[in-house]
Amino acid sequence: MASPGSIRPVRFQGPKGTRDFYPAEMARRRYIEQAWRTVSIRHGFDEIEGPTFESADLYAVKSGEAILGELFQAFSGKSPEEVEQVRSTGRAPYALRPEFTPTLARMFADRAASLPRPTKWFAIPIHYRAERPQRGRLREFLQWNADVIGEESPQADAEVIALAVGLFTELGLSGRHLTVRLSNRDLVSELLIESGVGEADLAAALTLLDRRDRMAAEEFARSCCQIGLDAAALAARLGEVQGEMNSALAAMENGGAMPPIARKSPAIGQLRGLIEALGAQGILKWCEFDFSIVRGLAYYTGTVFEVTAAGERAVAGGGRYDRLIASFGGPPTPAVGFGMGDVVLSLVLEEHGLMPEGERLAECLGTRPDAFVVSAGDESSDAVVAPLVAELRRAGLHARRSYKATKKIDKLLKDAAACYSRFAVILDETCSTGNVQVKNLDDGSQDTVMRTQLAQWITQHRSRAHV
């Protein structure tokens, strides 16, 4: 038996790219989660959740092989076959989820027959990616996901975009801070083919386009040649259509009619419909077309979009994935959705001074105590603290007490103010007569209240303060 003195303490650091949430950080996290949840529900979305790990194949098949390198792998270690698989292939049967869409598609496919159309779901899952942490990117983070499943019209696209915009508005952000950049993969594909790309190279061409801004010009040109892409012709076509669509968007925003679009194609039809639907949602001023946006994921089909802020990574991103649910064995079902991570969003909020703190944050979260009980008298009033706090709690109030030994009222009130309590309940000599002093810490007023009436008194005065 080792004596306590022989135990050698070992200090651990949290794993790379993870965060510890102490009360202050947890309050900020809850502020964001609360906004996500409140706005989702307001827009008619129902909350779901799935497992934090899934079969690795779920991601490999639909998201693209490239994702595998960024996956945190998982296995139980219980079966010899499993251990052998990891040893020989270097790949575990499970992976911590790097995104939510595959889980959502799997869940919908499983019960597709009994689910309404459209089905509107949101989730606030934790995600894991084995990437190198840097600004706006960690290895463990929260990401709000919202999806409209079973509705193919652009109204669904506009509805999820309006949800994202609703969230920004809720948090005090505006079109001055953020821009919704819209694109459409079908349109970009059309233009790529007209610029010389063969059907077989379409996926590669989209990936190339996605990386365009991040690679050297000559390297881009060389890659274009390899797939027969005339980069200059593509740039001209993209620029022309983008200009035309942005003019149409601006015209609608100013209350005019949709101007005619020279180009005719199914994709243009989708885009016209999207503009109209965004107009109906009243959010055109947030939006602009940017056909350089393609999105990295393999499963996206028509509309894709990103929300960007100057100097930061994308705050949110999403799009249509009309074939994903069928690929998981469900009926052919169109779907559109987006994800928004907590890391970049927090950076943007803090940058603009929109992250509340202290009392205001506690007020938003509903964590302000209703009463803070202190004893400034003798032993007899000390003895009242515990039962009085218990009594207030039984009445449904958020009651706290001081644990300090001091009888000095200034220090006790400071204690009460430190947790942003609405009222301080002071037990002094008047305690023996059945009365307590109740001080309103917001306006400084003070009343003498009978102890037996205290819970009711605070409940009334608290609710009055709220109204």
Query: Which residues here bind RNA, judged by CB under 7 A?
Result: 9, 11, 13, 15-18, 59, 63, 66-67, 70-71, 98-99, 129, 131-135, 137, 207, 210-211, 214-215, 295-297, 313-314, 317, 339, 358-359, 376-377, 404-406, 408-411, 413-414, 416-418, 426, 428-429, 437, 439-444, 446
In whole angstroms, the minimum distance from the beta carbon of 19 to RNA comes to: 9
Strands 287-289, 316-320: pairing kind: unpaired
Q: 193-204: string of b/e by CB count within 10 Å (b at 16+)?
A: eebbbeeebbeb
In whole angstroms, the minimum distance from the beta carbon of 367 to RNA comes to: 14
Q: In angstroms, rounded to a whole number, what is the distance separating the alpha carbons of residues 287 and 277?
A: 12
Q: Which is nearer to RNA, 125 or 330 (CB)?
A: 125
Q: In angstroms, rounded to a whole number, what is the distance separating the alpha carbons of residues 391 and 396?
A: 9
In whole angstroms, the minimum distance from the beta carbon of 256 to RNA comes to: 34
Residues 6+ apart with CB under 8 A from 169: none
Q: Which is nearer to RNA, 93 or 337 (CB)?
A: 337
Q: Which is nearer to RNA, 13 or 254 (CB)?
A: 13
- Which amino acid is located at 84 in the chain? E
Q: Which is nearer to RNA, 394 or 414 (CB)?
A: 414
Phi-psi category of 150—alpha, beta or left, where left has phi over 0 and alpha has psi -120 to 50? left
Q: Which is nearer to RNA, 48 or 413 (CB)?
A: 413
Please return the burial class of 313, using the count of CB atoms within 10 Å of its CB with bins 0-12, 13-18 and 19+: middle
Q: In angstroms, rounded to a whole number, what is the distance separating the alpha carbons of residues 187 and 193?
A: 10
In whole angstroms, the minimum distance from the beta carbon of 439 to RNA comes to: 5
Residues 6+ apart with CB under 8 A from 371: 392, 397, 398, 399, 400, 421, 422, 423, 424, 425, 438, 454, 458
Q: Which is nearer to RNA, 284 or 461 (CB)?
A: 461
In whole angstroms, the minimum distance from the beta carbon of 326 to RNA comes to: 19
Q: Which is nearer to RNA, 43 or 368 (CB)?
A: 368
In whole angstroms, the minimum distance from the beta carbon of 364 to RNA comes to: 15
Residues 6+ apart with CB under 8 A from 200: none
In whole angstroms, the minimum distance from the beta carbon of 304 to RNA comes to: 9
Token pair of 419 as six digits: 């947790």
Nearest Cα residue to 296 out of 425, 388, 204, 176: 204
Give me the DSSP letters along 216-262.
Answer: -HHHHHHHHHHTT--HHHHHHHHHHHHHHHHHHHHHHHTT-PPPP-S
In whole angstroms, the minimum distance from the beta carbon of 63 to RNA comes to: 6
Q: Which is nearer to RNA, 114 or 134 (CB)?
A: 134
Q: Which is nearer to RNA, 30 or 313 (CB)?
A: 313
Nearest Cα residue to 302 out of 278, 269, 280, 332: 269
In whole angstroms, the minimum distance from the beta carbon of 260 to RNA comes to: 33
